[in-house]
Amino acid sequence: MRRVIDRPRRARLPTNDPQAVAERRARSVEEPLDVQLRTADPYPLLEVRNPIHGTGYLVMLPEYPARTVALCTCTDFARRGLGTCKHIEAGVRWLTDHPDAPPLRPGGGPHASGVWKKIDQRIGSALKDRAPPSRRWRLAGATLFEGTREE
């Protein structure tokens, strides 16, 4: 019997492929994506749905209007390493087109570095935890939905 070791995968650094990024932007315009703002505090959290495919993903923009630290729960974002996807592009476009959306906090909320620091701390403690992997990673990811402030 082969033993499987549960190790976290290393995150890929975003690649600099302008053609692939342009393709994601074009798809965000061409496809009928519905965007809803879930919260603007501490940063914009959007739900982006595709009614034709019946899919929906969360888009987090901790340093909006900058896209440098944008996150999406879709597999394209996780696998391609582009730093963007059609859902992020649709979310940024929606926020830009809707100035009447609830105002963002001055300074755009906590800096992403503080959020990532908290995630790294939780991942470190999760590695020592004997809980199932899904529960451990959910705890680390929950940092994105909490009202954490940079310490």
**pTM for this predicted structure:** 0.61
Q: Where are the beta strands (DSSP E) in 4-150?
A: 34-39, 45-50, 55-60, 71-72
* List of long-range contacts for 44-50, beta carbons under 8 Å, 24+ apart: 44/91, 44/95, 44/104, 45/144, 45/145, 46/91, 46/94, 46/95, 48/72, 48/87, 48/90, 48/91
Q: Which residues pair with 46 in a beta bridge?
A: 37, 59
The pLDDT assigned to 141 comes to: 62
Which residues, given as ranges, of the chain have pLDDT below 70? 1-15, 101-116, 119, 126-127, 129, 131-151
Whether cis (ω within 30° of 0) applies to the bond prior to 42 is yes
Residues 76-101: tens digit of each pLDDT? 888 888 889 999 999 999 998 987 76
Domain ranges of the chain: 18-108, 112-145
